[in-house]
Amino acid sequence: MKIGCIGGHGGPSNRGCFIRSYGDEADYTLLMSRKLHAALPGSVLLRPYDQTLSLKERGQLAKANQCDVVISLHVNAVPGNGLYGFSAWHWPGNARMQKLGKRILTLIPPELRVKRFDGTRSCRSLVSAIDERHIDDDKRWRMRGRAVLGCYPCDTLLLELGFGATDYLALLDTTIQDNLCLAIERAVGEQYNGINGQHVTS
């Protein structure tokens, strides 16, 4: 079992959203994909530096590295809606990725796991098929999400680690970053090995 880790966006013309007090999503997802790669023994880092990769090229890299699962890291940006929290997206009907996403959601740091709506802090932490509608429904985003999930020749989970405008304090906390990667590593290990949450490449 080989896991591919990749940060979304990259290159001079594809920077992604802006993360408050940090900068571009492309740099942040590169940082987090490196951390996740370090936490997942035997995994492969598909975008090891800041480079332009088309969706087709990303899929080709996953195929060339014989990835069984790809975890694609992103930061969410839906301006003006006050949304918070982590979310995981999978292809409709993919029970394996739905299960993995749900387990990750139970393990992530509480700062990124939003459970309530109180009029000012909207719930957004969820695991969902890419075609389902939610309170921040954005047809263009769902089309882009479908394109990302569809470019890989294997099971793929698209993780939105938080919102760049509202979750930035948590996203920039190095302890939370490390714990988030460990949560993903544990969920992967449980699902694909079932022994002490340890992931190995077979």
Mean pLDDT highest for which of 17-21, 88-92, 196-200? 88-92
How far does Cα 27 stand from its chain's mean position?
Answer: 14
How far is Cα 40 from Cα 51, in angstroms, rounded to an integer? 22
Q: Check: CB of residue 67 under 8 Å from CB of residue 4.
A: yes
In a domain, 86, yes or no: yes
Q: What digits encode the pLDDT tens for the residues 47-96?
A: 998 888 999 999 999 999 999 999 999 998 765 566 788 889 999 899 99
**In degrees, to the nearest 5, what angle opens at C-alpha 195 toward C-alphas 190 and 201?**
75
The enclosing H or E element of 72 equals strand 69-76
More confident residue, 51 or 4: 4
Computed over every residue of the chain, the mean pLDDT equals 83
Q: Which domain CATH number covers 95?
A: 3.40.630.40
Q: What is the mean pLDDT of residues 109-130?
A: 67
How far is Cα 57 from Cα 48, in angstroms, rounded to an integer? 14
In a domain, 200, yes or no: no
Q: What pLDDT sits at residue 99?
A: 96
Burial label, 26 (beta-carbon count in 10 A; 0-12, 13-18, 19+): buried
Q: What pLDDT sits at residue 201?
A: 43
Q: What is the mean pLDDT of residues 26-40?
A: 95
In a domain, 53, yes or no: yes
pTM of this structure: 0.87
Q: Which residues contact 137 (CB under 8 A, 6 or more apart)?
A: none
Helix ranges (H only) for the chain are 25-39, 55-64, 95-107, 139-150, 168-171, 174-192
Which range of residues forms the domain containing residue 28? 3-192
Which residues on adjacent β-strands are paired with residue 147? none
pLDDT band at residue 137 under the 50/70/90 scheme: low
Q: What pLDDT sits at residue 195?
A: 39
Q: What is the mean pLDDT of residues 114-141?
A: 61
Given a cut of 90, whether residue 193 has pLDDT beyond it is no
The residue among 3, 10, 14 whose CA lies nearest residue 104 is 3
In a domain, 202, yes or no: no
Percent of the chain exceeding pLDDT 90 equals 50
Q: What pLDDT sits at residue 11?
A: 66
- Number of folded domains that form the chain: 1
In a domain, 180, yes or no: yes
